[in-house]
Amino acid sequence: MTYCVAMLLDAGLVFLSDSRTSAGVDQISTFRKTTVFERPGERVIVLQSSGNLAITQGAINLLAERLGNQESGADNLHTCRNMFEVARCVGEAVREMHLRDGEPLRQQGVEFNASFIVGGQIDGEPPRLFNVYAAGNFIEATPDTTYFQIGESKYGKPIIDRVTRRSMPLSEAAKCALISMDSTIRSNLSVGPPLDLVIVRRDECRVASHVDIDADNRYFQMIRNGWGEALREAFSALPNPDWVGLR
């Protein structure tokens, strides 16, 4: 499995993904789930992927191939006029993978399972964030939506639900994403470091920061220890329900 989360904030975008791919517990590998397409100052597009690795790698490969083929007249991620068109391009790539692999996978009893988070900014638009499904259709984050998750999303959802708001600073959102990831890693073997953290500041149209966080990363270790400790303290500070001892 995989866990990816992306947040859309007033100040920009934060993306965090793990890198664990498992086909059974004895076949665990490291594959990055984050891909950046960037023309610094003009556009920045960040893709996170979850699901069947052959499908998601294939779709990203199709998208990358098309960058060099600008004469065909078809849009690619460097020529799309807005992020909606970018999400459409990603959806089209997923549909092309379905045309290629869908039926053979079905014959093997394998689900066509792939999803993408697509976020970024193209000059002239505000930052935007999309969730692209296996059918190639997609939804966009609205002012009421601060985040999208794909993959093993449930363990790390409660903390995001409680603390995120559109106005939070990017570094605080990154902290929230890392705590959410830590909760997921602790409770699910199929999610693990190294992590990819990408920060995009609003109106810069470039990656502000792309950090590779491995298990030895000092800040992530502080989060791991500090958050667990803080949770245990918060837990101790709440009174026990003494009434349950009564019949």
Kindly state whether residue 95 participates in binding a second copy, applying the rule CB under 8 A.
no
C-alpha to C-alpha distances, 40 to 74, 162, 205, 208, 238, nearest whole angstrom: 22, 34, 6, 10, 49
Q: Could you say which of 41, 171, 189, 203 contacts a second copy (CB under 8 A)?
A: 171
Q: Could you say which of 59, 87, 179, 181 contacts a second copy (CB under 8 A)?
A: 179
Q: Could you say which of 170, 181, 195, 205 contacts a second copy (CB under 8 A)?
A: 170
**Residues 187-226 as x/- pattern, contact with a second copy by CB under 8 A:** xx--------x-x-------xxx-x-------x--xx--x
Strand partners, 9: 12
What is the spatial distance between Cα 177 and Cα 163, in angstroms, rounded to a whole number?
Answer: 10
Burial 166-197 (b: 16+ CB within 10 A, else e): eebebebbbbbbbbbbbbbbeebebbbbbbbb
Within 124-153, the residues that bind a second copy by CB under 8 A are: 152
Shortest Å, Cβ 58 to a second copy: 29
Q: Could you say which of 32, 39, 95, 157 contacts a second copy (CB under 8 A)?
A: 157
Q: Could you say which of 10, 23, 169, 203 contacts a second copy (CB under 8 A)?
A: 169
Shortest Å, Cβ 149 to a second copy: 11
What is the spatial distance between Cα 102 and Cα 62, in angstroms, rounded to a whole number?
Answer: 16
Please provide the DSSP assignment of 80-134 as one string. -SSHHHHHHHHHHHHHHHHHHHHHHHHHTT----EEEEEEEEETTS--EEEEE-T
Residues at the contact surface with a second copy, assessed by CB under 8 A: 152, 154-159, 161-163, 169-172, 174-176, 178-179, 183-184, 186-188, 197, 199, 207-209, 211, 219, 222-223, 226-228, 230-235, 237-247
